């Protein structure tokens, strides 16, 4: 445990910062576009179009994090379920997975609390309500199915794209596009989380625990199912590494399939 902490603490801090930045961006973007007194909200009356704008902004945020120096080094999971899926696939050491997950939960909460401290009146407004993710009018069952499907989709994309040499450099772009589409289309069903750390970060200050089990269980089942499908189709050895962007000059702390072929990667 202590050896992993001493050697890999920079990656843990990068994961915390990555989700923290994502939550800070989500708070700012949502407040600017959805707050009732926002001129953007008053100018864009179509809710679908507003979600599209938010989706593009959050997709670009994810792309920025993945291709940032920190994202290139940590792998830019910024999601405990992504980390657990790569752990299940044998790409991550146990203590690295544990510290990644702890860092992601802490980073997500710190990012949201920072957003609240900067934009307090906006984020505490009932229309924003700490950007909570809760089921839509269809209820918890629909939200569960929606979260399972979108989590399955993005993890399957990550595995196929990141392990296809010609496409691998564009994994972050694919992820950003999918996030934008999901926020635009799926958000009314579940709030579009795919990430228990993201959901918990909003639930704590808002004291809104509505169907929180959905956001812990559905993403895990969806991403694990995606991993099983990929392994069935391609084999476990086809999963080369746990990074979303690998070929760069940053160190890799994972059980990396590129290491023998590219010793400096």
Residue 263: its pLDDT value, please? 45
Residue 261 has pLDDT above 70, yes or no: no
Q: For residue range 60-81, list pLDDT tens digits in order.
A: 999 999 999 999 999 999 999 9
CA distance 115 to 110: 9
Nearest 10 degrees: Cα torsion 53, 222, 202, 24: -50
Q: Flag the least confident range among 125-139, 223-237, 244-258.
A: 244-258
In a domain, 187, yes or no: yes
Mean pLDDT value of segment 123-135 = 94
User: Three-state DSSP class for 255?
Assistant: coil
In a domain, 253, yes or no: no
Contacts of 55 (CB under 8 A, 6+ apart): 179, 180, 181, 182, 183, 184, 187
Mean pLDDT value of segment 250-260 = 83
Residue 265 has pLDDT above 80, yes or no: no
Residue 101 has pLDDT above 90, yes or no: yes
**How many domains does the chain divide into?**
1
Residue 259: its pLDDT value, please? 63
In a domain, 145, yes or no: yes
* Domain of 121, in residue numbers: 2-238
| Number of CB atoms found within 10 A of residue 31's CB | 23
Mean predicted lDDT score pLDDT of the chain: 94
| Number of CB atoms found within 10 A of residue 227's CB | 22
More confident residue, 51 or 259: 51
In a domain, 195, yes or no: yes
In a domain, 256, yes or no: no
**Sequence-distant contacts of 49-52: CB under 8 A, at least 24 apart:** 51/183, 51/184, 51/187, 51/188, 52/180, 52/183, 52/184
Mean pLDDT value of segment 101-106 = 98
Nearest 10 degrees: Cα torsion 169, 29, 111, 255: -10
| Number of CB atoms found within 10 A of residue 4's CB | 18
Q: Give CA 249 to chain center in angstroms.
A: 23
In a domain, 26, yes or no: yes
Which tokens in the block code for residue 265?
Answer: 């990667």
Q: For residue range 149-174, list pLDDT tens digits in order.
A: 999 999 999 999 999 999 999 999 99
Residue 15 has pLDDT above 90, yes or no: yes
CATH code for position 21: 1.20.1080.10
Residue 2 has pLDDT above 90, yes or no: no
Using only the alpha carbons of the chain, give its radius of gyration.
Answer: 18
In a domain, 265, yes or no: no
Residue 12 has pLDDT above 50, yes or no: yes
| Number of CB atoms found within 10 A of residue 102's CB | 15
CA distance 82 to 120: 30
Residue 121: its pLDDT value, please? 81
**Residue 264 DSSP symbol:** T
Angle between helices 80-88 and 139-162 (to 10 degrees): 60
Q: Give CA 234 to chain center in angstroms.
A: 24
Residue 143 has pLDDT above 70, yes or no: yes
CA distance 245 to 98: 21
Q: Structure pTM?
A: 0.94
Residue 264: its pLDDT value, please? 43
Residue 59: its pLDDT value, please? 98
Residue 11 has pLDDT above 80, yes or no: yes
In a domain, 211, yes or no: yes
């Amino acid at each position: 445990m202590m050896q992993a902490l001493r050697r890999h603490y920079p990656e843990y801090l990068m994961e915390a910062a990555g989700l923290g930045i994502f939550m800070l961006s989500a708070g700012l973007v949502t407040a600017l576009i959805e707050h009732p007194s926002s001129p953007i909200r008053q100018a864009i009356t179509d809710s679908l179009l507003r979600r599209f704008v938010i989706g593009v902004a959050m997709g670009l945020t994810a792309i920025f994090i993945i291709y940032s120096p920190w994202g290139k080094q940590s792998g830019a999971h910024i999601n405990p379920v992504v980390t657990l899926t790569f752990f299940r696939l044998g790409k991550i050491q146990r203590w690295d997975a544990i510290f990644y997950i702890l860092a992601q939960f802490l980073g997500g909460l710190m990012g949201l609390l920072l957003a609240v401290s900067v934009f307090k009146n906006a984020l505490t407004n009932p229309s924003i309500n700490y950007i909570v993710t809760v089921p839509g009018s269809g209820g918890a069952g629909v939200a569960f199915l929606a979260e399972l499907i979108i989590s399955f989709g993005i993890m399957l994309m990550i595995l196929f794209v990141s392990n296809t040499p010609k496409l691998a450099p564009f994994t972050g772009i694919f992820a950003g596009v999918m996030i934008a589409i999901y926020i635009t289309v799926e958000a009314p069903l579940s709030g579009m989380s795919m990430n228990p750390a993201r959901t918990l970060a909003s639930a704590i200050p808002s004291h809104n625990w509505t169907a929180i089990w959905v956001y812990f269980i559905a993403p895990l089942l969806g991403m694990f199912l995606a991993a099983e499908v990929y392994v069935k189709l391609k084999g476990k050895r086809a999963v080369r590494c746990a990074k979303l962007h690998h070929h760069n000059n940053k160190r890799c702390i994972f059980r990396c399939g590129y290491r023998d072929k590219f010793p400096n990667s």
